[in-house]
Chain A
């Protein structure tokens, strides 16, 4: 076969060019550590790398979200911890206030102390995250949530609960509304409230007997009449001196009717799934009421306690310290409820923190996986690249040498 001299040069130049291009590409791969320099190097991997990169970046962002979430949750948790110990202090004070040996002045001193606690409680409820955003005002984080409007603490926030994206599919609440924490606490035993009523017979007003009503329990939930209130009216027979009571229900009347039931101090009184007892000696015309539980703010519970302690000196005419005892009993029950409410929110915060931790671990694992996938997709295998480089280098050198050798062959050098 004939070969034209030009073709020898052309073929060699083309081959050298191609070899140099391959060598350069391998060299670039080694220098950057990336197998995919442009999308065309591996279109499938390049397109996948984009989605894996996105997933990885989103995972990192979720990590940042979780850090923020952990911060807000911890802040709320430590705040509610202070609220808990404050309420426990108030509880202790309320128990002490029941001590009959205390003088009116002692009680007034306690009231003053509790007023201080109330202000402290408002302060805790109004705390911020350190950059001026209120923790317990719902969505209105720039609005002071709790304000004292002529003696009543009102909530100015809303029911908003902020959610944060903790991973691709999970949104975790990062806040709790002040209404849920401080305002909506069921009073009484959670189903009904027992308290002294207002006398209709003279002297109109507070009970004058020494009857003390217990908070009571629900014995049969099925028998409860939703929304019904009951009145227990006492009468003392002028003839026998025997004490009896009549229970009336409204709006649904009590059936079977309970009228003129003989009263024994401390004996359980039960009807319609409700059970409580009254101790002491109620006077003729004294009234007790059983009403459905409603929501009562923690602030009201505390300020009611303060008001009870500030009451004027109990006299024999108004049943001695009976009114105070009844108020304290009700207040203690409500404090219990408040404490339980705060504790249940704290336990929910704790659960959320726990979940954040679990998600964090999962997120870290995921991050490793993404990095590994990305590396598999994009990164060069150094051993293969170095060996390729050495091989291509050797080939190019051989080509150069052989080209020089071949091109020096010419018949003209011999004639």
Chain B
């Protein structure tokens, strides 16, 4: 009789546990990371009697969570990658919005600058036209600076995001280590039972950790989990959590690097090993998108400022003075590694703007060979001719840079060279005097314009200034020859021989007067840094003069050349192209930048969406196993209710039976 009661009681108990577990499931239906739980009922060992094995009821052996560790590991991975791509996409979208906007991009500003320049070439004597050109130059400068400033803001924001991501990682690591302890203790106490909710909590923290950074995990037999980041640096082991740290980069103090903190000691780790999650996205975005874009923009600004300056220096301004700089050009940034032993810093200037790339460079000194290695960081390749001796480094002008080696270098000293990084930030107008626009050429060539005239039909071209100028240079104006504007006379000899000859007289002309120079129709005649051509049939005694272009307010020769720079290929050359010759124009280079950003953003928009969907499917698959289905729970609830009712009924019947037995004795 007693086993009637125990069986019914065990049924009641089991049903109660079932209802409790179902209620727990219902209550946690929307708890992130929760895995549904089930009771594990098992029939008690039956009594062996003569009538056979009589059932003794039910035992609940435990509560288990429905969990698939392979699916969960997959979720972690997919989500880490999805977060990485989505965050990268979101960050890059900011630049994408910035560069191609017809109103906000640099392209319209460059265009209006050249339009205004064209107006000056139509009216070189007009001060309002010149003022407009300067105004538009300022507009272009402002645009470059504004875009650069926006990128600086994004970079500054990134530093904050990197720091908070690192803090989050450290916090998750500590919480996981703490949970490791709890789980280890719980499992040590009752080895056969799993602390389901603790495991779920830890799992949820692992998900969050993986959204910040990609990790690898190792499940230990004592229930703890070990976590590794980067190249196998331990983040969590047993009950101990290590820390990551955002530190100033040794190669570039403006940048944050991720370091590993172990026993109070900061250990540098390879930055490229930090992958996945938010942190990986921030670092990749900064190093592979933001900085290259800033460099590319800098190169356009630098190229524009440098080329316009060079042309302006070849001309003559409205007041008749030799042209100066219209723009202030950025200086390449050279950053000494904080670990350097030597105190010297190389000086870097720009030798040929057409050869500049958008990359940064690392210069490293090797005292064994006394040579410098110059590494182009964008493709991780040494520049042509590297490693160099100090003299070769200067002479080679690698990628358009003139690098003077540092004084007293020590072995392993390294320097980060960023030739174009500040190009857009530091571009500025060098003058606000509209007269300083050198629209005219500094020289003019002419035949006599008053009696006595030349009698022949020969004509002289108006002349152009050679670049680069031949020595000796003008100490007051280093971009022109000293004798550029000295009057030079070309007089055809009398009697005129066949072929005709002429005598060149003037300061700077070698062995002046230089007699008997043979005349060739249309051939270049070059002295003192200018070139003219004489065409036609000269007569004996005909004179041509080349000299200072005084009062030439209506001359537009130089600014026509300057205007033509808009479509000239002045950027993007390499070691195989000639000096000053590139492969793309300013707008072309800017278009390249926009195309690069656009293509990367477009790619990320597709891949991030695909990865997000992939992660969602993995989560759905995992949830299909572990997630709570309320209808199922409702059914379970009814089921346990029914079994409870049934067990209670059984108890009642047992009781009635017992009463019957007692009534017999009455």
Contact = CB atoms under 8 A, between A and B. Distances in A.
Q: Is the A/B pair a real complex? A: yes
Interface string A25-60: 000000000001011111110111011011001101
Interface in A42-96: 42-44, 46-48, 50-51, 53-54, 57-58, 60-62, 64-65, 68-69
Interface string B546-580: 00011111111100100110110000000000000
Given A4-B623, A58-B567, A297-B451, A39 B630 contact: no
A158 B123 contact: no
Contacts, number: 241
Contact of A164 (B121, B453, B564, B596): B121
Q: Give the most central of A11, A50, A184: most B CB within 10 Å.
A: A50
A7 B627 contact: yes
A2 B554 contact: no
Contacts of B590: 50
A70 B119 CA distance: 14
A141 B553 contact: yes
Interface of A: 1-7, 10-11, 14, 18, 36, 38-44, 46-48, 50-51, 53-54, 57-58, 60-62, 64-65, 68-69, 131, 133, 137-143, 152, 154-155, 157-165, 168, 171, 174-175, 177-179, 183-184, 226-227, 292-297, 300, 410-412, 415
A54 B544 CA distance: 42
Contact of A179 (B449, B455, B626): B449
A42 B125 CA distance: 44
A64 B567 contact: no
Q: Give the most central of A11, A42, A143, A227: most B CB within 10 Å.
A: A227
A115 to B, nearest CB: 20
A140 B553 CA distance: 6
Contact of B118 (A5, A47, A165, A175): A165
B555 A50 contact: no
A39 B449 contact: no
Contacts of A18: 609
Contacts of B375: none
B560 A53 contact: no
B505 to A, nearest CB: 19
A278 to B, nearest CB: 25
Contact of A171 (B101, B462, B560): B560
Contacts of A48: 591
A51 B455 contact: no
Interface string B24-41: 000001100000100000
B605 A40 contact: yes
B93 interface: yes
A366 to B, nearest CB: 15
B115 interface: yes
B140 to A, nearest CB: 14
Q: Give the most central of A46, A48, A177: most B CB within 10 Å.
A: A46
A384 B462 CA distance: 58
A363 to B, nearest CB: 14
A183 B625 contact: no
Interface in B586-625: 587-588, 590-592, 594-602, 605, 609, 612, 616, 619-620, 623-625
Contacts of A39: 96, 99-100, 594-595, 597-598, 601-602
B93 A142 contact: no
A138 B602 CA distance: 56
A159 B444 contact: yes
Contacts of B601: 38-40, 43
B338 interface: no
B552 A68 contact: no
Contact of B560 (A141, A163, A294): A163
A293 B108 CA distance: 57
B629 interface: yes
Interface stretch (B186-194, B217-225, B238-246, B632-640): B632-640
A38 B97 contact: yes
Nearest to B606: A40
A384 B349 CA distance: 53
Given A38-B598, A40-B598, A158-B446, A133 B125 contact: yes
A293 to B, nearest CB: 8
Interface string B158-199: 000000000000000000000000000000000000000000
A165 B440 contact: no
Q: Give the most central of B100, B601, B612: most A CB within 10 Å.
A: B100
Interface residues of B, number: 89
B265 interface: no
Interface in B452-466: 452-455, 460, 462
Which 10 residue pairs spanning A and B have beta carbons closest together?
Answer: A4-B627, A39-B598, A141-B554, A43-B598, A40-B601, A47-B595, A295-B453, A39-B100, A139-B555, A139-B552
Contacts of B557: 163
Nearest to A164: B122
Contacts of A410: 630-631, 634
Given A4-B36, A11-B620, A168-B567, 18 more contacts: A3-B624, A4-B624, A5-B628, A6-B627, A7-B627, A38-B96, A39-B595, A43-B599, A51-B587, A53-B111, A137-B554, A164-B121, A164-B556, A184-B453, A227-B496, A295-B455, A410-B630, A415-B634
Contacts of A158: 444, 446, 449, 549, 552
Contact of B447 (A36, A58, A159, A161): A159
Contacts of B93: 38, 40
B552 A14 contact: no
Contacts of A65: 118, 121-122
B480 interface: no
Contacts of B619: 7, 10
Contacts of B30: 6
A68 B612 CA distance: 59
9 contacts: A3-B624, A54-B587, A158-B446, A159-B447, A160-B444, A165-B121, A227-B455, A294-B452, A295-B454
A131 B127 CA distance: 12
B440 A139 contact: yes
B492 to A, nearest CB: 12
Nearest to A4: B627
B490 to A, nearest CB: 14
Nearest to B455: A294
B329 to A, nearest CB: 23
Contacts of B454: 295
B223 to A, nearest CB: 26
Contacts of B107: 50, 53-54
B530 to A, nearest CB: 15
A158 B545 CA distance: 11
A50 B637 CA distance: 66
